[in-house]
Copies of this chain bind each other. A is one copy, B any other.
Amino acid sequence: MCYDKGNEWTGRRRSMISKQSPLPLYYQLEEYLKQQIESGEWKPGDIMPSERELSEEFRISRMTVRQALTNLVNKNILFREKGRGTFVSHRKFEQNLQGLTSFSEDMERRGLASGSKLLYFEQVKAGDQVAEALAISPGDPVYKLKRIRLADQEPLAVETSYNPVSLFPELDQKIFEKSLYHYIEENRQMRISHGTQTVEAALVTDEDAQHLMMEEGQPVLLIQRVTHLEDGRPFELVWSIYRGDSYKYRIEMNRR
Contacts and interface: CB of A to CB of B under 8 A. Distances in A.
A232 B89 contact: yes
B99 A199 contact: no
Contacts of A196: 250-252
B197 A253 contact: yes
Q: Looking at chain A, what size class is its interface with the partner chain? A: 35 or more
Most B CB contacts (10 A, CB to CB) among A96, A192, A199, A220 go to: A199
A100 interface: yes
B91 A199 contact: no
B90 A232 contact: yes
A178 B118 CA distance: 51
A111 B122 CA distance: 40
B98 A233 contact: no
A203 interface: yes
A169 interface: no
A201 B220 contact: yes
Given A79-B230, A230-B79, A231-B90, A247 B197 contact: no
Contact of A193 (B91, B247, B249): B91
A90 B193 CA distance: 10
A157 to B, nearest CB: 12
B219 A254 contact: no
A76 interface: yes
A93 to B, nearest CB: 7
A151 to B, nearest CB: 15
A115 interface: no
A251 B223 CA distance: 11
Interface in A201-256: 201-203, 217-222, 228, 230-233, 242, 244, 247-256
A36 B201 CA distance: 41
Contact of A74 (B63, B74, B200, B248): B74
A117 interface: no
Given A231-B87, A232-B89, A100 B254 contact: yes
A44 interface: yes
A249 B251 CA distance: 12
Contacts of A201: 201-202, 219-222, 242, 244
A110 interface: no
B254 A93 contact: no
Given A231-B45, A232-B44, A255 B221 contact: no
- The 4 A-B pairs at the shortest CB distance, nearest first, are namely A90-B232, A201-B244, A201-B201, A201-B219
